[in-house]
Amino acid sequence: MPSDVEIEISKLLCSSFSGADGEAIGSRDLARMWSLELQWFSPEVAQSLVDRLHDSGWLVGGSDSLAPCITSFQHTPELGWRPFLSRVGEIPNPPSVTPERIAEPPDAQIPPESDYRPPEGATKGKLASMIASMSGLEKREVIRRAQRKRRALGPVSLDVAMLLLAREQNLEMEKLVEKS
């Protein structure tokens, strides 16, 4: 059973990396998001927390390209959630991945093609690429702006946030709506 600190870390990483399309975030960008955009921590505390999560294994990769470990998304934050991790002295190691946790249940079936819908975000890479090429922005910037818009608006999908961004950029919406 995970501890309260592990649950808080999982919620923090889930809210920070949700919809990031597997793209890594630099440690300074992550600290800036937590301190300036979300105003959860002071800049010093945010950078310290990023470093501590990286040292303990919750964040993997180099300092300019961090990503959450595979077990980070076990808990999603509820509406209005704020992390309390600035008061935590020691960061525990992430839970280990066991084969039972990541194995698909034997009775899982692949839905027939007529019923199949790609999961949310499956077309996100294509949509972000299209918006990037049409607007002249980098794909990473499109995703960053869409995530920021998503946080500001609340419960909207990343695809909708990207479409709203495209509309703000005065792009041709017909082509984009067909892709989403």
DSSP state string for 6-33:
HHHHHHHHHHHHTTSTT--B-HHHHHHI
Q: Is 11 buried (19+), middle (13-18) or exposed (0-12) by CB count in 10 A? A: buried
Q: What is the DSSP letter of 92?
A: P
**50 within domain boundaries:** yes
Which DSSP helix (H) or strand (E) runs through 152? helix 139-153
Q: Are both 8 and 72 inside the same structural domain?
A: yes
At 108 the pLDDT is: 43
| pTM for this model (two decimals) | 0.52
Domain boundary among 77, 94, 111: 94
Q: Residue range 128-136: average pLDDT?
A: 89
Q: Residue range 134-154: average pLDDT?
A: 86
**62 within domain boundaries:** yes
Containing structural domain, residue 157: 124-179
At 150, the pLDDT band (50, 70, 90 cuts) reads confident
Q: Are both 85 and 135 inside the same structural domain?
A: no
**108 within domain boundaries:** no
| Residue 179 and residue 134 in contact, taking contact as beta carbons nearer than 8 Å | no
How many independent structural domains does the chain possess?
A: 2
Q: Provide the percentage of residues in the chain whose pLDDT is more than 70.
A: 75
| Residue 71 and residue 96 in contact, taking contact as beta carbons nearer than 8 Å | yes
Q: Are both 89 and 128 inside the same structural domain?
A: no
| Residue 37 and residue 119 in contact, taking contact as beta carbons nearer than 8 Å | no
For residues 157 and 21, which has the higher predicted lDDT (pLDDT)? Answer: 157
Out of 65-79, 131-145, 149-163, give the one with best mean pLDDT. Answer: 131-145
